[in-house]
Chain A
Amino acid sequence: MEFEPKIVAFLCNWCSYTGADLAGTSRMKYSPSLRIIRVMCSGRICPTFIFKAFQEGADGVLVCGCHPGDCHYNEGNYKCLRRFKLIEKYIRQMGIEPDRIRLAWISASEGKLFAELANEMTQTIKNLGPSTIKAQLEQMV
């Protein structure tokens, strides 16, 4: 059976989650790999969530917020971006392929872009293959 990745996606309520809803109301078809978790602002997303997703077996983690300058809470997306850059560096040091995490800006009107992003990321993860992080973490000795 073909590998169907599971990607945990953290979406801010105002832009990205609404954009994902728009993809739905516009009946755009995209890969069923995302498991979307809604937060109020991308500024709420902290490294713990991303690491936890990998620990639980996620093949990839997607973080989406409002476009720079358009955050519902002014600057939460920038704070998310800053953390994300640090996480990227850490993830690399931990031997995790950096392509397994992705930060993207999706506005409330970008349903199409969201659907494309989902497909694109799914393809990237398919190319990388299933994550072995969970299995490696469970192997203790």
Chain B
Amino acid sequence: MANQDKPKLKMAIYWGAGCGGCCVSVLDVHEKLFDVVAVADLVFWPIALDIKYKDVEAMADGFIDLTLFNGAVRNSENEHMARLLRQKSKILVAYGSCAHLGGIPGLANLTNKNELFNRIYLETESTLNPDGIIPKTHFNVTEGELELPEFFNDVRALNQVVDVDYYLPGCPPRTERLIEVFMAIVNKAELPPNGSVVGAWEKTLCDECKRKKTDNKVIRKFYRPWEIHDDGETCFLEQGVICMGPATRGGCGYRCIEGNAPCQGCYGPPADAPDPGAKMMSAIGTIIDSNLEIEIEEIVDAIVDPVGTFYRFSLPKAILRKKMSVPKPVN
């Protein structure tokens, strides 16, 4: 496959605020890794290679051909690396749900820095911190001044910090999709317009989902997945379980459905429904089977956590992207 005449692609992978699953999904190429390294040189990948930030800083602008940036932007280190890699890369890909939409870390937008610090460093049951020490960005020790990244109030998706060329969604992205996109770039295939989602379908998950779907979409009661005797065949929505499939791009290979769990939306919204939570709330609300206000309220009450249900992976990219802090009344 490798063409000896052709210079090898210079590739970087970076891990922002995320779980590391995206990096594992890259490793999941298994034996195909040999194909990858035959055509690409990994010039930066903190999880696997000992290359320092200063080495990246020393690279010429646009030196890197392709960067897969996974993880959201939670702190100043993430932001610095996002800007740096943008500057050094020809193609910057937001890789995985966190970089694409904010992902699971993005749910922290339901709270803020102060609340988090209080909880984590002062309040948790296992904390022993009598002096109330919380992290600071600068701290003097005998060896000199220590610098820690600044923890931001909000979690942001990558494109809320820098321009992004492509989005490769998923938590994590399906490895086959990564290889397809990677090979397309290597082979200089015609790439979609900048800003496109790649490695996912235009149609949403139901299109490929193998469960039996009918037009019997009415919801009398919402159930959590463990509350039903799932027959493994019937559409989750028709069993009263909220499945984000209709508002989530296909391409994942319906892994969750195959595991008898409803879709939670990691592949993100299709092109014309940018706020998947709003769309799904609209759809789900419409098919509630009651015209009585009190009854509707009861049915809706079964959705204990609307944000976590409808925006599990996409809160930072929602129209209302974070919880509002209501100013305290003056008097």
Chain A residues packing against B (C-beta within 8 Å): 43, 46-48, 51-52, 54-55, 68, 75, 78-79, 81-87, 89-90, 93-97, 129, 132-133, 136-137, 140-141
Contact = CB atoms under 8 A, between A and B. Distances in A.
Contact of A47 (B278, B324, B327): B278
Given A82-B288, A96-B326, A136-B325, 14 more contacts: A47-B281, A51-B318, A55-B319, A83-B281, A83-B282, A85-B296, A85-B297, A85-B300, A89-B300, A89-B301, A89-B306, A94-B320, A95-B324, A96-B324
B287 to A, nearest CB: 8
B303 interface: yes
Contacts of A43: 286
Contact of A89 (B154, B288, B303, B326): B303
Contacts of B306: 86, 89-90, 93
Interface in B184-242: none
Interface residues of B, number: 38
A83 to B, nearest CB: 3
A68 B291 contact: yes
Contact of A46 (B154, B278, B293): B278
Contact of A78 (B291, B307, B319, B325): B291
A95 B318 CA distance: 15
A107 to B, nearest CB: 17
Contacts of A51: 275, 278, 318-320
Given A46-B278, A47-B282, A85-B293, A140 B156 contact: yes
Contacts of A97: 326
A64 B156 CA distance: 35
Nearest to B280: A47
Contacts of A90: 277, 281, 306-307, 310
Interface of B: 110, 152-154, 156, 160, 275, 277-279, 281-282, 284-286, 288, 290-291, 293, 296-297, 300-301, 303, 305-307, 310, 318-327
A133 B300 contact: no
Given A47-B281, A48-B282, A137 B293 contact: no
B278 A48 contact: yes
10 contacts: A46-B278, A46-B279, A81-B293, A82-B300, A83-B282, A83-B286, A86-B285, A87-B281, A94-B320, A140-B156
B319 A48 contact: yes
Nearest to A52: B319
Contacts of B301: 89
